[in-house]
Structure formats: C-alpha cells, structure tokens
Structure 1
C-alpha cells in the first residue's frame, strides 16, 4: 500500500512513517510539508491513500482535501491535532474518508489507513458521537456549536458573512455600528486563523453556515 504523508512537522512525519512501514505491507512514497505540494506529489506518486494534516503553513488541509477529491479519487485520512466540531465537519464535507486525532494508538492508525484505503470510513471513538449529532442535526447548526471558540455574536456575524453580506448590511441586520462589525470580523479572523474574508467564508460554508439563504437586496 502506497502512502503520501502531508504534515509540516518533521519529527511527527518520521514517527508516523516508522509506524506505518513497520506493518510490512505499507510504503510511504512521499512526505509533503505544504498544501501547495500535495496535488503534485499525488500526481507523481499515485498513492493508495493520503494521510492529511489540517494545519499547514501555506493553507488548510481542508482546501487541499477538496482539491484532491475534485481531481483524483485518492482516499484521504485526516490525522490532526484539531479536535473541534468545525474541523471535523469541514473535513467530511471536503471528502475525507476518515478522521483521527493525533495521539491515536498505532493499531488504530493502521486500521484506519487500511479501511479508508479500501473505500471504507473510519472516525476516532471520541469523534463518532459528535459526528452523528452534527450530521443528524441534533446538535444544531449554530456556529457556536461547530466553532466553540467564537462568541454567539461572532457566529452571527460569520453566518451573515457566509450569506454574502457586506459590513454595512451586517451592521443593519444586527443593529450594530459598522466599526463594531469590523471588530467582530477581526476577532473571527484571529480565532479561526484566517487572513482574508474569503477564507472565513469558506470555513463557514464548510460547516453549513450561510447555505441556501438569500442575501439582503
């Protein structure tokens, strides 16, 4: 089984590579540090599976996953430190076949690698109840549920951003001053680790915010 590892931490990559190749039937054919290098590496090495981190120095593993799914049918297993509902739901929506949090045992990782490479789906024991609730809607679709680092007001602003509203219309909708809206957006950028409005909107839409809702005239 041919594997490409995507992670920007050399020590973690080395440990993961050793754990995978110790199984005897797995070969790591490439290690990638950036989102931009993922698609070229997959095109060159044609792996059976990509093990994807989400926090990369030049972008999100979510975007890299979405790009791969659009261009090639290679299965993707997310292995990340991100244990929040927003990242989990965004990864699944992007097309990942599995999601594990770093720290999972070697046998759990090997099982996930084989299952996802074979077309199955695997999620860590700690994520299954949350994923079930998120997809079933029993946990609600509010931004505060999938982005717990945001305040309720920040989630309202993010939702309106995802609907396509500009600052003036957001301020009008929420009965706020435009300066207050700008401050909320600055805090949203900081907390979600994004630098542009487009990135914030993409994160919001990944988890279902702003979907199928008309914008103000």
Structure 2
C-alpha cells in the first residue's frame, strides 16, 4: 500500500517540482498539491492522508500553524520541508507536533527515506535542526531544564545531556568511565520512563521538554 501524501507550498514551481520528484518513487501516492496551510488542513480533514509535506512561510496559514491543526485533529503526520532553519520555526514546529523537519536542499533520496521513517512512526530531524535546538537552549540561559528531573537519576540526566550534545554511546562511555553496555541499559531505562522510541527523541526531549512530537 502506498504512502498517501499532500504537498503544501505557496511557490508553484517548488510545489509541482516536488510532486514530480516524489511521484517517481513507487512508495508514494501524491494526492494533491495546495497553496497554503489552510488548504492543507482542510484537505487532511476531508481525506485520508498519511503525510502532509508543509513549507513554513505560506499565506493564510503558515506551516507551523497548519502542523498544530493537522496533528491535533487528524491522523496525518505533519512533515516540515522548508528553506528556513530559524530557531523559532523549529521549536514551534516540534511543539506543535511536526514528525519531520528537513531543509529543501536535502537530497531527494534522503527526503524519501525520512518520509518513510515518519510514516512508520519515527521522528526525523536534520542534524542542523538538532544543532539549532541546542543553540536555542544555550542562548536561553535558563538555570532549570524543561524536563521533569524527578523522573531520572543523576546518571540518566548526565547521559541525556551527552546524547543532546550528539555524543555516541562509545563517546559517552569514555566521558563517564563506564561500559557501552551500561550506557545502553541507561538509555533503555530513559526510553521506558519517557515512552520515547530512540535517542534522537531523547535529545529533542532534553532540549525542549516535549515528549509528544
């Protein structure tokens, strides 16, 4: 069964170009292309759509606002594909339920794989997006983390912080002077306590305090 997609972008050249590209993949069925977020929301409310591919800056309703409505009122997974990597858009999109956030200069194969991953229940964020989230946390200079620290041990909090910095299990083990197997056990515990699926979500959770992506 094909993954049903709509594309929302106010630039007709990009909109139709993306339709042509995605239609070359047998996994996808592009149901429609629309010009703004309001049209995307209306379509998702009236039709069965698996993924809504949304630009950020659009008239009538932008992609971040559309993400909020689509994620809360339909079973469609919002996926941001944009030229904009501004911190405010990234954080707002994730908080509103975006399941993916990639830039338009991403290779088509990467976009295809990311959309398939989102369809199967994962959250996909480009490395630059994760970096922006980290920068946003540092710039905020907030003394308290946004997560509920009472849920975790000091060691788990340390591991989450290192995951958010982008360290691998091997690098974390070296940093904390414990084995990689022990790190894996701690990560399993963190996932169990939060209901998250993988380490990328742990990083986003640590940086934003949000578990419902």
Preserved CA contact (<8 Å) 1:5 1:13: yes
Partner residue of 2:158?
Answer: none
SS in 2 for 1:96: coil
Aligned-pair CA distance for 1:132: 4.2
3-state SS of 2:38 partner: coil
Partner residue of 1:82 out of 67, 81, 84: 84
Q: Give TM-score, length-normalised by structure 1.
A: 0.61
Counterpart residue number, 1:38? 40
> What CA distance in whole angstroms lies between the structure 1 residues aligned with 2:119 and 2:95?
18
Note the C-alpha offset of 1:129.
2.4
Mapped partners of 1:119, 1:75: distance in 2: 9
CA–CA separation in structure 1 for the residues paired with 2:9 and 2:32: 11
Aligned equivalent of 2:11, options 9, 27, 48: 9
**What is the Cα deviation at residue 126 of structure 1?**
1.9
Could you tell me whether the CA contact under 8 Å between 1:29 and 1:45 is conserved in 2? no
Counterpart position of 1:97: 99
> 2:85 is paired with a residue of what secondary structure?
coil
How far apart, in 1, do the equivalents of 2:135 and 2:114 lie? 21
Residue in 2 aligned with 1:141?
Answer: 140
Question: Aligned to 1:61, which of 49, 57, 63?
Answer: 63
Alignment partner, residue 167 of structure 2: none
How far did residue 83 of structure 1 move? 1.1
CA RMSD after TM alignment: 2.1
Q: What is the CA-CA distance between 1:9 and the residue it aligns to?
A: 1.0
Question: Quick one: distance in 1 between partners of 2:46 and 2:75?
Answer: 15
| Distance (Å, rounded) in 2 between the aligned partners of 1:77 and 1:119 | 12
Question: Is the contact made by 1:77 and 1:112 (CA closer than 8 Å) also made in structure 2?
Answer: no
Aligned length: 142
SS at match of 1:37: helix
Judge conservation of contact 2:8–2:52 (CA < 8 Å) in 1: yes
